[in-house]
């Protein structure tokens, strides 16, 4: 028997770094009795694909209570598996796997047999809804099924026809014991994963951005965007609701969806209990249309398992109409998620646009949290002018020398009032905080600071800007 397990572990590590999304997932834990079709337990599609077992003879599918922990996702338990009963020589297992908006597809599952079950599976795939089938790589051969669960994993990233294809499917045929009256093959944790292709192209305008690198300790107030292109607004994130849950800073932040040359720094930690709470993200889209929201998130071991996404166009009522992705599963490694509002015209040019995140799974615990970073809203179209950039430049002093050793000078064109500055290290920690009041030149003594790269954040109460400085 081929040993796929080590390969699986390596593949999983690589996928985690590449932020693969789970597209469809069957864990079978809610399966009950014999069934003709088994819909995916989790699916990015609004209509979950269904596994069927067409053919002739008395063979059928039902649940079996010895599911397995191999290939588990989304914090699920082994629970039940899918029992595909003999005789299976007159039937075949059909698994539709639409890959809309995804590429670099990986298909995997855990499988075993009973003593009288089929010892050989022959796998094929179709890119045209089952009219034509191929056993080419990554399948390439039949597989041997043992009496203990093992993981089979297949990387389709070299086959471009599989990408973004609503008609992709896999067929499994059974041999060597498949004509027995008794015996069966047992499946658990059938997963298809891929990389989202809907991430915004780099030419799109970054309209709002939270990098959270200036957070320090518990935050009771709404958290203003670190950057916005929209003048005269204060986009902010609020953790609303009741209960002991709160938000604070978490280090390390994420390096995935970084914008504006920010370091990973800190992230926003949203703490349990979260079942009576929501994260509300104000995202005014004035003068902008064709909107995307992108963010990075991971969870702690007992943190919330799913993010549910809804949006508001009146600032009060929330809806999911037109949203292709309404729920995403959160892993213990940072992943980037993209939510596409391009098809929803009421979102465009709307000062009241908001996105709401609520949670499923582990929400009523005392411990556990989700960590958010690099919350960024993009617009494909915008008429926002450079006016805001000009405002930001007014908050942009000359900071020198750079690199510096003992003193750093902050020099303004005119005397400034009520500007707070913070010096942030690469871990996102505030190492120095002070105010500028009526001066056009300030000296910071940096002899006590460790050598390295720092960010100085200036905030006048309405907006922020930052400068990087290297201490040598
Ligand atoms: Ca299971
Ligand atoms: Ca950050």
305 — pLDDT class (breaks 50, 70, 90):
very high
Name the closest ligand to CA 266. 2
- Predicted pLDDT of residue 18: 36
Q: pLDDT: is 369 or 222 the higher one?
A: 369
Q: Reduced to 3 states, what is the DSSP secondary structure of residue 160?
A: helix
Q: Which CATH number belongs to the domain containing residue 465 in this structure?
A: 2.60.40.3080
Q: Over 80: is that where the pLDDT of 161 sits? A: yes
pLDDT at residue 4, rounded to an integer: 46
Which of 356, 384, 412 finishes a domain? 384
Give Cβ neighbours of residue 451 (< 8 Å, ≥ 6 apart): 471, 472
What whole-number distance in Å separates Cα of residue 67 and Cα of residue 59? 20
Task: Give pLDDT tens digits for 122-157.
Answer: 999 999 999 999 999 999 889 999 999 999 999 999
Q: Which residue, of 196, 231, 248, is where some domain finishes?
A: 196
Are 411 and 331 in a shared domain? no
Q: Let me know whether 257 and 304 are in one domain.
A: yes
Per-residue confidence (pLDDT) for residue 16, from 0 to 100: 31
| H or E segment to which residue 374 belongs | strand 369-382
Entry field: residues in the chain = 472
Which of 145, 179, 196 delimits the end of a domain?
196
Per-residue pLDDT for 419 more than 90? Answer: no
What is the chain's mean pLDDT, rounded?
A: 88
Ligand lying nearest the CA atom of residue 215: 2
Confidence of residue 10 (pLDDT cuts 50, 70, 90): very low
pLDDT at residue 294 in the model: 92
Question: In terms of domains, do 145 and 210 share one?
Answer: no
Quick one: 161 and 30 in the same domain?
yes
Residue 398 sits in the same domain as residue 379: no
pLDDT at 177: 97
Cα of 299 vs centre of ligand 2, distance in Å, is 15
Confidence of residue 386 (pLDDT cuts 50, 70, 90): very low
Distance in Å, CA 361 to ligand 2 centroid: 25
5: phi then psi, degrees, rounded to nearest 5: -65, -45
Q: Rounded to the nearest whole angstrom, what is the distance from the C-alpha of residue 234 to the centroid of ligand 2? A: 19
Is residue 213 located within the same domain as residue 351?
yes
Sorted by sequence, the CB contacts under 8 Å of residue 463 that are 6+ apart come out as 228, 391, 392, 395
Say how many Å lie between the CA of residue 377 and the centre of ligand 2: 15
Ligand 2 centre to CA of 184 (Å) is 50
Distance (Å) from CA 384 to ligand 2 centroid: 25
Q: Give residue 368 CA to ligand 2 midpoint distance, Å.
A: 20
Q: What is the pLDDT of residues 242-290, one digit of tens each?
A: 999 999 999 999 988 888 878 899 999 999 999 999 999 999 999 999 9
Higher pLDDT pick, 195 / 91: 91
Tell me which residue of 401, 398, 405, 400 sits closest to 471, measured CA to CA. Answer: 405
318 and 214 inside one domain: yes
Q: Are residues 32 and 62 in the same domain?
A: yes
Which residue did the predictor score with more confidence, 322 or 173?
Answer: 173
- CATH number of the domain that 120 lies in? 2.60.120.260
DSSP 3-state of 394: helix
DSSP 9: H
363 CB-side CA count, 13 A: 16
By the 8 A CB rule, do 37 and 51 touch? yes
Ligand nearest to the CA of 76: 1
On whether both 341 and 398 belong to a single domain, the answer is no
Rounding to the nearest 10 degrees, give the CA dihedral for residues 366, 370, 373, 377: -110
Q: Is the pLDDT of residue 391 over 50?
A: no
Tell me the average pLDDT across 414-426.
78
Determine the average pLDDT of the residues in 164-188: 97
Looking at the fold, whether 174 and 60 belong to one and the same domain comes out as yes
The mean-pLDDT minimum among 249-263, 351-365, 413-427 falls in 413-427
CA distance 274 to 238: 13
Q: Is the per-residue pLDDT at 187 higher than 60? A: yes
Helices (H), 180-324: none
Do residue 13 and residue 160 come from a single domain? Answer: yes
Cα separation, 317 vs 56, in Å, equals 51
CA of 63 to the centre of ligand 1 (A): 10
What pLDDT, on a 0 to 100 scale, did the predictor assign at position 151?
Answer: 95
Mean pLDDT of 22-40: 94
> Residue 409 has which token pair?
């000078």
Using the mean position of ligand 2's atoms as its centre, give its distance from the Cα of residue 441 in Å.
29
- Closest of 270, 320, 276, 316 to residue 295, by C-alpha: 270
Q: What's the pLDDT at 1?
A: 42
Range of the domain at 229: 205-384
- The domain tally of the chain equals 3
Whole-number Å distance, alpha carbon 398 to ligand 2 midpoint, is 24
Query: Ligand 2 mean position to 247 CA, how many Å?
Result: 14
- Binned at pLDDT 50, 70 and 90, residue 31 comes out as very high
pLDDT grade for 52, boundaries at 50, 70 and 90: very high
Instruction: Tell me what pLDDT residue 427 has.
Output: 60
The CA R_g of the chain, rounded to the nearest whole Å, is 26
Q: Do both 321 and 441 map to the same domain?
A: no
Residues of the chain with pLDDT > 70: what percent?
90
What's the 211 CA to ligand 2 centre distance in angstroms? 4
Q: Is the confidence at residue 191, as pLDDT, over 90?
A: yes
- The burial class, CB within 10 Å (0-12 / 13-18 / 19+), for 28 is buried
């Amino acid at each position: 028997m081929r040993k796929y397990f080590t390969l699986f572990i390596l593949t999983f590590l690589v996928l985690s770094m590449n932020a693969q999304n789970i597209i469809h997932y069957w864990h079978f834990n809610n399966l009950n009795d014999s069934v003709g079709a088994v819909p995916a337990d989790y699916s990015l599609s609004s209509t979950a694909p269904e596994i069927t077992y067409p053919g002739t003879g008395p063979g059928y599918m039902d649940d079996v209570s010895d599911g397995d922990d191999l290939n588990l996702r989304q914090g699920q338990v082994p629970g039940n598996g899918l029992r595909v009963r003999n005789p299976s020589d007159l039937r075949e297992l059909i698994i539709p796997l639409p890959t809309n908006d995804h590429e670099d597809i990986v298909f995997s599952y855990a499988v075993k047999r009973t003593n009288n079950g089929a010892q050989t599976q022959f796998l094929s795939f179709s890119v045209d809804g089952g009219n034509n089938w191929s056993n080419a790589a990554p399948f390439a051969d039949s597989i041997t099924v043992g009496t203990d669960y093992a993981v089979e994993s297949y990387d389709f990233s070299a086959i471009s026809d599989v990408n973004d294809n609503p008609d992709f499917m896999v067929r499994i045929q059974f041999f060597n014991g498949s004509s027995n009256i008794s015996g069966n093959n047992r499946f658990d944790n059938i997963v298809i994963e891929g990389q989202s292709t809907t991430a915004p192209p780099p030419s799109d305008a970054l309209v709002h951005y939270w990098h959270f690198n200036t957070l320090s300790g518990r935050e009771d107030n709404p958290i203003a965007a670190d950057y916005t292109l929209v003048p005269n607004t204060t986009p902010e994130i609020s953790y609303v609701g009741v209960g002991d849950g709160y938000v604070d800073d978490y280090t390390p932040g994420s390096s995935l969806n970084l914008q504006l040359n920010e370091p990973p720094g800190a992230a926003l930690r949203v703490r349990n209990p979260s079942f009576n709470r929501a994260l509300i993200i104000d995202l005014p889209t004035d003068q902008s249309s064709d909107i995307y929201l992108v963010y990075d998130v991971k969870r702690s071991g007992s943190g919330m398992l799913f993010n549910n996404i809804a949006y508001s166009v009146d600032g009060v009522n929330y809806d999911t109409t037109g949203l292709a992705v309404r729920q995403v599963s959160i892993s213990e490694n940072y992943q980037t998620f993209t939510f596409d509002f391009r098809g929803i015209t009421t979102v465009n040019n709307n000062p009241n646009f908001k996105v709401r995140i609520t949670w499923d799974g582990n929400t009523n615990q005392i411990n556990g949290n989700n960590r958010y970073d690099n919350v960024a809203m993009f617009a494909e179209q915008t008429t926002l002018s450079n006016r805001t950039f000009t405002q930001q430049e007014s908050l942009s002093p000359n900071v020198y020398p750079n690199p510096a050793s003992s003193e750093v000078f902050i020099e303004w064109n005119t005397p400034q009032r009520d500007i707070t500055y913070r010096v942030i290290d690469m871990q996102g920690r505030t190492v120095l905080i002070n105010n500028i009041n009526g001066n056009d030149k300030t000296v910071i003594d940096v002899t006590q600071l460790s050598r390295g790269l720092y960010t100085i954040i200036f905030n006048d109460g309405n907006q922020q800007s930052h400068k990087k400085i290297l201490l040598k």
